């Protein structure tokens, strides 16, 4: 939790320290994904690091527990910290960098607050009864995070918000499905309880990494739902400039490939290593570095990319 007792002096040096700290956090917590932004100019990469820092703060909240279904005070403290930062009363250099990014790229503040609100939905009860509740959570956390990144990636026309939230939601659902066995092992089950019951999945078997028909049913059920979201989300590419398209297409390619692999091999989520092998990840990274981002059947704006 951030210390809200003191405010730092806002100087250019403090902001730069904040950017460096956010970069370190990105490399630590999102090391498998930040390569997708390597093609971007430095200022844009720095801006994305602050968005990832804000997302990281929200993800950290998922480890907290609420008593009797009541919201924890940390939600109010982090929200107030962010509000104060926009009034130039920053409690950390990272928040100073985040506010600097928001002002520089005209990032809507709502999208920066939404991930914290989404995390609060989880810590109230630490479960989702229906898939719709899970979707709402992913829209706030993943959807709004991607929406806040869009102005930094290079928006060339307005009206991107709905597609951005759909895209971020699809990516987050893909990640939660891929990591559901690891999460279950530490008693964090994001899967909708209604779906678990209908598929006949024993969560104890999931924790012990045991496969079976119920698990295959559930994984393919989620893949079928998420797949439709990606088709809608792919329209987001048309809102970005050349460099932004490259970054988004690489991010989509990685998660789309994960989704297809889970569809073909549902029990791959039980392995301790990532769903995509090191070789599969290396191929995606190499394509990106060479400017040969994989064209996807879901993308509506592939023509004339290179």
Instruction: Kindly list the domain boundaries of the chain, sorted by start residue.
Output: 12-289
- Cα separations (Å) of 297 from 160, 178, 230, 303? 21, 22, 10, 12
pLDDT at 84 (0 to 100): 94
CB count within 10 Å of CB 163 equals 21
Residue ranges of alpha helices (H) inside the chain are 12-29, 42-61, 73-85, 93-105, 109-125, 131-138, 144-153, 161-178, 180-185, 193-199, 203-207, 213-233, 242-264, 278-289
Length of the chain counted residue by residue: 306
pLDDT at 4 (0 to 100): 44
Model confidence, pTM: 0.91
**Burial (CB count within 10 angstroms: exposed 0-12, middle 13-18, buried 19+), residue 283:** middle
pLDDT at 73 (0 to 100): 75
Encoded tokens for 129? 């009864």
**Burial (CB count within 10 angstroms: exposed 0-12, middle 13-18, buried 19+), residue 193:** middle
Phi, psi of 6 (to 5 degrees): -130, 155
Q: What is the dihedral of CA 263, 269, 274, 277, to 10 degrees?
A: -50
Q: Going by C-beta distance under 8 Å and a sequence separation of 6 or more, which residues neighbour residue 247?
A: 36, 37, 39, 40, 153
| 59 and 119 Cβ atoms separated by less than 8 Å | yes
pLDDT at 281 (0 to 100): 87
pLDDT at 32 (0 to 100): 82
pLDDT at 305 (0 to 100): 43
Phi, psi of 62 (to 5 degrees): -65, -15
pLDDT at 290 (0 to 100): 80
Instruction: Kindly report the CATH number that applies to the domain delimited by 12-289.
Output: 1.10.600.10
Compute mean pLDDT per 10 residues along the chain, 306 residues long, and list them: 59 93 93 89 96 94 71 79 93 95 96 94 91 97 98 96 96 97 94 97 95 97 96 91 94 94 96 89 85 63 45
The Cα–Cα gap between 65 and 76 comes to 15
- Cα separations (Å) of 219 from 58, 214, 265? 26, 9, 9
Taking only Cα atoms into account, the Rg of the chain, rounded to an integer number of angstroms, comes to 19
CB count within 10 Å of CB 182 equals 15
CB count within 10 Å of CB 210 equals 13
């Amino acid at each position: 939790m951030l210390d809200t007792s003191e405010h730092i002096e806002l100087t250019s040096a403090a902001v730069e320290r904040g950017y460096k700290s956010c970069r370190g956090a990105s490399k630590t917590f999102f090391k498998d994904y930040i390569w997708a932004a390597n093609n971007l100019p430095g200022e844009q990469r720095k801006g994305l690091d602050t968005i990832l820092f804000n997302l990281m703060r929200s993800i950290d909240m998922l480890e907290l527990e609420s008593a009797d279904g009541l919201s924890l005070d940390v939600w109010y403290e982090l929200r107030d910290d962010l509000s104060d930062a926009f009034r130039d009363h920053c409690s950390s250099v990272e928040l100073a960098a985040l506010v600097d990014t928001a002002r520089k790229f005209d990032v809507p503040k709502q999208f920066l607050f939404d991930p914290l609100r989404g995390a609060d939905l989880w810590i109230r009860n630490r479960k989702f009864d229906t898939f719709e509740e899970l979707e709402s959570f992913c829209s706030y956390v993943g959807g709004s995070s991607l929406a806040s990144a869009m102005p930094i990636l290079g928006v060339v026309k307005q009206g991107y918000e709905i597609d951005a939230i759909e895209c971020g939601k699809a990516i987050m659902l893909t990640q939660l499905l891929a990591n559901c066995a690891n999460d279950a092992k530490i008693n964090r089950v994001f899967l909708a309880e209604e779906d678990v019951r209908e598929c006949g999945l024993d969560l104890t078997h999931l924790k012990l990494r045991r496969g079976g028909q119920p698990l295959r049913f559930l994984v393919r059920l989620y893949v079928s739902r998420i797949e439709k979201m990606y088709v809608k989300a792919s329209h987001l590419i048309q809102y970005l400039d050349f460099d932004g398209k490259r970054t988004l297409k690489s991010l989509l390619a990685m998660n789309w490939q994960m989704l297809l692999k889970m569809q073909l091999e549902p029990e791959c989520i039980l392995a301790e290593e990532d769903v995509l092998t090191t070789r599969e990840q290396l191929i995606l990274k190499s394509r990106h570095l060479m400017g040969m981002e994989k064209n996807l059947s879901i993308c509506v704006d592939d023509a004339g990319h290179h």
